[in-house]
Amino acid sequence: MTQQGAVLQGYNNELVKCIEDLCMQKEELNKQIQQAEEEKNKLQHEIQVLSEQLECVCENLAQKVASRNELDKILAETEAAYMKILDSSRTLLNVLKKEVGSLKRSPDLKTN
């Protein structure tokens, strides 16, 4: 009977050791889970901050693109008007040259 008690005591010691090992594994796993949750929360916060920054950049970009488009329109209109002014100036110059040429050939100017 004593031998059976010793065997039983050996089993009990092994069982206690296995339970202690499992408890240590559980504690380690709990630490890893807690670290992973903290990392997840940190990353989610960073994502939120970056999303807000991205939204601001996108809004700013849209405003700048709209301003550029408006400037392109104004530039095109201004260039077109300037080309009309150049064309009118050329026409005026040609008319003036013809008039001056006509005046030089006029008999009234030759007598003076």
Q: What does the pLDDT read at residue 109?
A: 56
Dihedral, CA atoms, 45, 50, 55, 61, nearest 10 degrees? 170
Q: Residue 5 corresponds to which tokens in the numbers above?
A: 């008690």
Residue 92 lies in a domain: no
Residue 49 lies in a domain: yes
Q: Which of 15-19, 48-52, 82-86, 97-101 has the lowest mean pLDDT?
A: 97-101
Under a CB-based contact definition with an 8 Å cutoff, are residues 103 and 109 in contact? yes
Q: What is the pTM of this model?
A: 0.59
Model confidence at 51: pLDDT above 90: yes
Counted domains in the chain: 1
SS3 content of the chain, % helix, strand, coil (to 5): 95, 0, 5
Residue 83 lies in a domain: no
Domain range enclosing 26: 1-70
Model confidence at 92: pLDDT above 60: yes
Residue 101 lies in a domain: no
